[in-house]
Amino acid sequence: MATMTTELLGFTLAHPIMPAAGPPVRDGAALLACAAGGASALVTKTISVHPAEVPAPNMADFKTYFLNTELWSELPAEQWLETEYPQTRQAGLPVIISLGYTAGDIANLAPRVAPFADALELSTHYIGNDYGPMQAAIQAARVAGVPVLVKMSPFREPQGAALAAQEAGADAIVAVNSFGPAFGIDIEHGGRLWMGGKGYGWMSGPALKPIALRMVYDIARVVDIPVIGVGGISTGEDVVEFLMAGATAVQVCTAAIVKGPDIFGKLAQQLDRWLDKHDYDSVTQIQGLALKQPIPAMAQPPVLLIDRCTGCNRCVTSCVYHALYLEDRKIHIHEERCAQCGLCISRCPVDALHPPA
């Protein structure tokens, strides 16, 4: 078995997988269920000075993506302080308390939640391209005397904001929040809308992963503090991608909604098996590997490993340049037609096409 231990902000985690702020951590009981399900640390649902008025309906699953209008916690801060945080501490895991949204809100809440927090996470979901409010919120949070994490939104250039957060004293960056506004229509029932409130919501789930990966990759290239990846993680391979992109740890929300709180332990097991299969001794060995890779430049056709080809025809079907063809159920190429687009390499299920050396 590979070593899964992850060092993060002074904590020693059993593995790098924890929940993200959202419905799966809606109260103390839900947080304890995440702990029982194998999470290595706990992130609480975001609270603010006033509880959220959450519209109904507020969640819908479309398999490849997920919509929600869930907002922050509908429970008052006083209930969290009196009941939910003390219950959460019973898990014996590091507790990261999520707060929002303005510097004034954070200044009010940070000292009050400090006795229960091993770290604070600040959502920047409602902060625009002016970094001043975010930096003021970070400075307000630092009075709690614990590490401060800043959660970035996926709809702005991340590097400037991440550097501004680091400059203001952030100890880690979390990337990313959900994306939106996004929209969904139920075509089987007269075009009714899926979301309450304004009729639209925020997108998460598998469709968000490429955006989140890009944010992690870009942020990790410029900051000197840890990055925690979140967005569309539902398999151990997803975790591997985020770690290779530069994340130290990951958070999971949508998969915990649709698959239940046992997902954390399952992802850890899948990650462990992947590391063993690929001969890595520890999770730290894969962290940041993509940051060391050059940007690909493909000037020649792909290399064909004909002995591996099973004749599935996927690459031929999707080659818009008609450069690939099957003969005797094996792949062949018209090199003069190949545009070096690389699609066939990603389409092949048996690794029979490789980039040229």
**What mean pLDDT, rounded, does the chain reach?**
96
Distance between CA atoms of residues 25 and 3, nearest Å: 27
Residues 109-115: what's their mean pLDDT? 97
Pairing of strands 172-175, 179-182: unpaired
Position 127 pLDDT exceeds 70: no
Which residues have a Cβ under 8 Å from the Cβ of 242 and sit 6 or more positions away? Answer: 212, 213, 216, 229, 233, 250
Residue type, 81: L
Among 253, 218, 193, smallest CA distance to 21 is for 253
CB 25 within 8 A of CB 45: yes
- Compute CA distances 41 → 36, 119, 204, 331, whole Å: 11, 11, 21, 48
CB atoms closer than 10 angstroms to residue 301: 19
Residues 66-79: what's their mean pLDDT? 95
CB 134 within 8 A of CB 173: no
Percent of the chain's residues with pLDDT above 90: 95
Of the listed ranges 93-97, 126-130, 140-144, 267-271, the least confidently predicted one is 126-130
Distance between CA atoms of residues 150 and 174, nearest Å: 6
Position 125 pLDDT exceeds 70: no
| Per-residue model confidence (pLDDT) at position 56 | 95
Distance between CA atoms of residues 48 and 72, nearest Å: 7
How much is the CA Rg of the chain, to the nearest whole Å?
Answer: 22
- Reported as a single tens digit per residue, the pLDDT across 249-294 is 999 999 999 999 999 999 999 999 999 999 999 999 999 999 999 9
Residue type, 305: L
Which residues have a Cβ under 8 Å from the Cβ of 104 and sit 6 or more positions away? Answer: 49, 140
DSSP for 115-157, please give it: GG-SEEEEE-TT--S-HHHHHHHHHHHGGG-S-EEEEEPSSS-
- Reported as a single tens digit per residue, the pLDDT across 131-179 is 999 999 999 999 999 999 999 998 778 999 999 999 999 999 999 999 9
Residue type, 200: Y
- Reported as a single tens digit per residue, the pLDDT across 177-213 is 999 999 999 999 999 999 999 999 999 999 999 999 9
Among 89, 86, 97, smallest CA distance to 47 is for 97
Give the phi and the psi of residue 114 in degrees, each rounded to 5: -55, -40
Sign of the CA dihedral with 314 first, then 317, 323, and 329 last: positive
Query: pLDDT-based confidence at 126, cuts 50/70/90?
Result: low
Taken as a whole, the chain contains a residue count of 357
Domains of the chain, earliest start first: 6-292 (3.20.20.70), 303-354 (3.30.70.20)
Give the phi and the psi of residue 116 in degrees, each rounded to 5: -105, -5
